[in-house]
């Protein structure tokens, strides 16, 4: 159990950080429901993004955004002095969703089988606002800062791809 806590749990606080936990915490989950929700979201947006990006770029985006979302979590915790622990893939999955919504802004999105009006771009805006508010109001046990870090990285990566393809 000590090994799992050291490498697969991101502890946000002075002198608690294990460099490996920046990456590996994105592969651990609190319970089956947590894992199931993250994998459902990953499947929903990841299958399309895998086809668009290819295996190497998709994997790179996923891993880098997992680490970036851990950094965002640590930075927010240091600024607000609200230390604790974090785990889960939602930061990396937020990046995949943000990249999807940026590349396919009009794509239809459903939440629990109910279509959301406005497409992916409106869903991304709502997701971002929800996470910003979550940082301030601290609803539940979610790591809103990690979600925002992943979202920002995914958005910037998609904009980079769009710019790169535009000038070819």
Query: Can 147 be counted among the known catalytic residues?
Result: yes
**Contacts of 115 by beta carbon, 8 Å cutoff, 6+ apart:** 108, 109
DSSP 29-84: -SSHHHHHHHHHHHHHHHHHHHHHH-HHHHHHHHHHHHHHHHHHHHHHHHHHT--E
| Residue among 133, 46, 55 at smallest CA distance from 89 | 46
Q: From the candidates 28, 69, 90, 94, which is the catalytic residue?
A: 90
User: What whole-number distance in Å separates Cα of residue 4 and Cα of residue 24?
Assistant: 9
Active site residue 90: yes
Is residue 56 packed enough to be buried (19+ CB in 10 Å), middle (13-18) or exposed (0-12)? exposed
The token duo for 162 is 């769009």
Pick the catalytic residue: 21, 29, 77, 147? 147
* Residues labelled as active-site residues: 90, 147
């Amino acid at each position: 159990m000590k090994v799992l806590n050291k490498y697969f749990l991101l502890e946000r606080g002075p002198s608690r950080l294990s460099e490996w936990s920046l990456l590996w915490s994105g592969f651990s989950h609190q319970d089956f429901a947590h894992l199931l929700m993250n994998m459902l979201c990953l499947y929903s947006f990841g299958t399309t993004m895998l086809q668009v990006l290819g295996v190497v770029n998709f994997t790179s985006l996923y891993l880098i955004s997992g680490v970036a979302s851990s950094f965002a979590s640590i930075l927010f915790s240091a600024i607000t002095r609200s230390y604790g622990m974090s785990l889960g893939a939602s930061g990396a999955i937020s990046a995949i969703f943000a990249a999807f919504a940026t590349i396919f802004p009009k794509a239809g999105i459903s939440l629990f089988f109910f279509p959301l009006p406005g497409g992916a771009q409106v869903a991304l805006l709502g997701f971002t606002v929800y996470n910003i508010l979550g940082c301030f109001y601290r609803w539940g046990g979610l790591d809103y800062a990690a979600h925002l870090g992943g979202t920002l990285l995914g958005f910037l990566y998609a904009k980079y791809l769009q710019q790169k393809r535009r000038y070819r």
